[in-house]
A and B are shown apart, each in its own frame.
Chain A
Amino acid sequence: MSELRRVLEGTYVRIKDVDLEDLPLIVELRTDQVLSRYLHPIDPDLDVQREWLIRQKQRTNDYYFSVFSKKMGKFIGTCGVYNFSDDGTECEFGRLISRGIPYENLEIFLLVYDWIFDELNVSLIHNYVVSENKKVVSLHENLGEKMVEIKPRGTYSALFDVVHFYITRDVYFSYTRDILSKILYRGLARGEPHV
């Protein structure tokens, strides 16, 4: 069983383990035709989702998080950490879907990557992005992630061609974290109330 059992709290978002009570919100998000167009469809039946979540929580090294906007006080999305290597030094970050604003969406990366690298002692994070999802492909490039290959439909994903990225601890702490912090918290430094 793998659970965070606490809240990753930033300036813009709170991230916590998915609870059963989050499932209607997740189903609503995952059945949004625009937001979910690059994700595998899910069964909208809440009982099916409840069973999936119970099984997910029983798996080791499989974390599934709900994300809440602090400004709105509302659920805005999910993300997850899973597919750890046998020695625990590599994992995958995914299940990411969000209807947040740019500040909220980017702070998800900062909080979760900090947690992965600092507390799980992982040295490399893999990401798999649907190649048609050009903005998210661009986002991972801008985060300094290394593109490995395009995995054709039928290999990683049954539905989509997928771009495989990874980021190392060294790149994250020498580049990505600094630049993320700068653009996320720049306005706060001049005393503005956060969004």
Chain B
Amino acid sequence: MFERLEEGLLNIASEVLKRDVDLDTKREDISEWDSFAHLMLVARVEEELGLIVPLEEVSNIRCLADFLRYTGRNRDEGSSSV
């Protein structure tokens, strides 16, 4: 499951950022990872991979691997489970 999620994350990031990145590449090191791209990345990861990132935690995503923290949640839990 994790391998498929990682592959999905890398594919989405490649499309949103228009370049390849690693799971551990830091957001601040990629010029294409601006505010717009950040929120677009979160939206697509939620829509396509089924993860939920609570709004209050969106700013804490620093690299693609950070999304994997949210694999245990589903849409019914939302942020109330945090």
Contact = CB atoms under 8 A, between A and B. Distances in A.
Contact of A192 (B32, B38, B78): B78
A138 B79 contact: no
Chain B at the A interface: SS class: helix
B50 to A, nearest CB: 13
How many of chain A's residues touch chain B, expressed as a range? 20 to 34
A102 to B, nearest CB: 4
Interface string A161-195: 00000000000000000011011101110111111
Contacts of B54: 187, 192
Interface of B: 31-40, 42-43, 46, 54-56, 58-59, 75, 78-79
Given A138-B34, A195-B55, A102 B78 contact: no
A101 B58 CA distance: 9
Residue among A134, A184, A187, A188 with the most chain B CB within 10 A? A187
A135 B59 contact: no
Given A103-B58, A194-B55, A195-B55, A139 B34 contact: yes
Contact of B39 (A138, A184, A190, A193): A184
Contact of B31 (A134, A184, A186, A194): A134
Contact of B55 (A142, A182, A192): A192
B79 A139 contact: no
A186 B47 CA distance: 10
Nearest to A190: B78
A138 B32 contact: yes
